[in-house]
Structure 1
Amino acid sequence: MATDQTKAWAEFRRMIVWIALAGVLMVAGALWYLSLYDALYPSAIAATVGGVFISTLLGCGLFAAAFFSDKSGHDQSVSDATTHEDEQPQA
């Protein structure tokens, strides 16, 4: 069981690095797109960086957490716990 959790943690860390890289690329793309149509003001840059980067990290990070939960065995332990409660003998 410990090896499954170790593998899951390693994969989760690797996914977080890729998600952060994707967030940086999304911010760069958004700033480039905005610069095509208007001058970039510091407030627009800060709002774009905050909004795009945080949204990308939040959305992808939640998916990564769901995959981590499944691969590390946390979902199975919850499923096992609820199954055992349902199968108790009735008096």
Structure 2
Amino acid sequence: MTPKSPLEDPEKAAFAWARYRRLMRFMLMITVGVVGIAVALLYLREGVESVHFYIAVALGIGLSMLLTSALMGLVFLSNGTGHDASIDDRIEDERRRD
């Protein structure tokens, strides 16, 4: 029988998702800052370019950082709540029997 995940408890799940949202808000602020600095440095170094260039740079950096932080945040959420430890690893059980 598969053990229950700690995320099935509504109180623990609410705490974990609140922590995840807090992490994502923090990373959004960091991302906005990094994008602003990158666009400013490009403008100072390269001068006037097409507005499409700056939009592409901002979207590329911003979406990459947000996607990375979202996926890493989910890894932290899963590990921090004990959800990873609640899996039923049948392969490992078979190895122990051998």
TM range (shorter): 0.7 to 0.9
Identity percentage over the alignment?
29
More RCO (CA 8 Å, sep 6+): 2
TM-score scaled by structure 2? 0.75
Which deviates the most, 11-20 or 65-74? 65-74
Aligned twin of 1:9: 17
Pick aligned residue for 1:25 from 23, 33, 46: 33
5+ residue gaps in structure 1?
Answer: none
Pairing partner for 2:66 from 57, 69, 85: 57
Q: Report the alpha carbon displacement of residue 35 of structure 1 after superposing the two structures with TM.
A: 1.0
Query: How many matched pairs?
Result: 86
Structure 1 moving runs of 4+ over 4 Å: none
Q: CA RMSD in A?
A: 2.1
Q: 1:86 — aligned with what?
A: 93
More helix by share: 1
TM-score by length of 1: 0.80
Alignment gaps of 5+ in structure 2: 1-5
